[in-house]
Amino acid sequence: MTSRFDRLLIALMFALVAAGVTLIIASAQGEKSPAVQTSTDCVVCHTEFEMTWQNGAHGKAGSDPIFLDEWTKQGKPGACLVCHTTGYDPATATYKADGVTCEACHGPAPADHPKTPMPVDRSTDLCGRCHSDTRFGWQDWKVSTHYQRGMDCATCHDPHSAALKKVAGPRTGEQSDNVSQLCINCHKESSMDFSYTAHAQKDISCVDCHVKHLENGERTAHTVPDHSFNASLDSCNTCHAEQMHSPTEAIAPEGTTEPASAAPAEEMKLASVTPEPEPVSPIGFSALAGIIGLAGGMVLAPWLERWYHRTVKHTREEDHE
């Protein structure tokens, strides 16, 4: 009775219903196993960290080619994996995940997280677990004013991307990649003068003198720059060794650059504020003059009329003819 086309339609609808029901049932199943917390599990909810972490030093700690190269050359020692992997167990020589994953710093997530919160340890000691070997100049950090004042690594470093934090201009405009901006952001007393100096003209940043002088420019593996932030004579020697005892000419700055912190960021929907009120608008003035002129004209009407007639008298007489 039913045509072929109708039958086809009925079959299609039935197929859709079956597929839909199956889909619903299938997605309802499959609970998350609370076993291994790899980084991928955390980013299911904390999506914003995925890219910054993956592209940063912590994310690449296990897969970095220079590391793998050295590690293999040295015979794949387990001691390296203590820091370069998460959850390394020396007894069985196994590890939970490659690289410095979420669990390495945050610990394993409880089974009913987010019901149970996971407090974050921001202390220097946490970073120190891997970064405090004497090879890393840890003692320099401990004597620095920053540490004495209670700052920790996360003050300047983004713990997930392991890079330096980016701060923006006065009104969180564009975030600057310039490392000096980070230092100048707090040490504003240097902001005005430094940018006009010869050093700044040659693209020397704060860290070039205050943090890097340990290795004489070349960063080798497993050394961190000197975090005591003292710029000693060694920093000067890095570039000026020959000029130490020889006479030199005065170096003229090659033009001035505008310090980035002084440039105002663009603001949307923020009103302009001036110390003086807007001057009286010219339209207001002219309207005022117009009205006074009107009043004056009405008062002077008899005389104006007389003059008008006198000047155009001859035309009027012609008209009347």
Partner 1 sequence: MLKKILTPWTAWLGFLGIILLGGLIAGILVFWKGLGITNLTDLVPWGLWITIDLSSIALGAGAFSLCAGVYLFGLKRYQPIARTATFVGLIGYTMATLALILDIGKPERFWHSLVYWNTHSLLWEVTMCVVLYLTVLVFEAMPIIANLEWLRKRLPKIAAMMERVHHYAPFLAIVGLGLSSLHQSSLGATYGVIKARPFWFKPEMSVLFMLSAIVGGISLTLFASMLASRLTSKAKTNDALIERVAHFVGYLLIGYFYFRAWDALSTTYTYDPGRSEGLNLITKGPLAFNFWIVEMLFGMIVPMIILLYKPARTNRFWRMVALLLVAAGVVAFRWDTNITGLLVVMPYVPGQAIAYTSYKPSLIEIMAGAAIIAYGLTAFSLGVKYLRVVDHSLIEEEHAKVKVEAVEAVGI
Partner 2 sequence: MSDKHNTPAEKTINRREFLRLTAVGVAVAAGTRAVTSTKASSDAPKGKHQWAMVIDQSKCTGCNYCTLACQAHNDVNPDIQWNIVVADGMVGDMQIFVPRPCMHCEKAPCVEVCPVKASYYRDDGIVMMDYDRCIGCRYCQVACPYEARSFNWEKFTGENPAVPEWGTPEVERRPRGVPEKCSFCYQTIDRGLALGLTPGIDPDATPACVNICPTGARMFGDLNDPESLVSRVLHENPSYRLRENLGTGPRVYYLPAFAEKKEA
Residues making contact with partner 2 (CB under 8 A): 46, 48-49, 52, 117, 119-120, 122, 149-151, 155, 158, 160-161, 165-168, 170-172, 175, 185-189, 267-270
* Residue from 14, 285, 307, 308 in contact with partner 1 (CB under 8 A): 285
Only segment of 137-145, 187-195, 196-204, 267-275 that touches partner 1 (CB under 8 A) = 267-275
* Residue 167 interacting entry, from partner 1, partner 2, none, C-beta within 5 to 8 Å by type: partner 2
CA distance linking residue 244 with residue 237, whole number of Å: 8
CA distance linking residue 62 with residue 81, whole number of Å: 8
CA dihedral 95, 96, 98, 99 (to 10 degrees): -100
* Residue 262 interacting entry, from partner 2, partner 1, none, C-beta within 5 to 8 Å by type: none
CA distance linking residue 313 with residue 239, whole number of Å: 95
Measured from the CB of residue 266, what is the shortest distance to partner 1 in angstroms? 15
- Nearer to partner 2 by C-beta: 69 or 267? 267
First-residue to last-residue Cα distance in the chain? 106
- Nearer to partner 2 by C-beta: 188 or 245? 188
- Nearer to partner 2 by C-beta: 80 or 167? 167
Measured from the CB of residue 271, what is the shortest distance to partner 2 in angstroms? 11
Only segment of 7-15, 82-90, 186-194, 264-272 that touches partner 1 (CB under 8 A) = 264-272
> What is the 3-state secondary structure of 76-135?
CCHHHHHHHEECCECCCCECCEECCCHHHHHCCCCCCCCCCCCCCCCCHHHHHHHHCCHH
* Residue from 27, 172, 274, 311 in contact with partner 1 (CB under 8 A): 274
* Residue from 25, 91, 111, 280 in contact with partner 1 (CB under 8 A): 280
Read off the tokens for 98.
Answer: 């490659």
CA distance linking residue 169 with residue 178, whole number of Å: 11
Q: Which residues of 94-128 are buried (b: 16+ CB within 10 A; e: fewer)?
A: ebbbbbbbbbbbbebbeeeeeeeeeeeeeebebbb
Which residue ranges make up the site for partner 1 (CB under 8 A)?
Answer: 269-281, 284-285, 287-288, 291
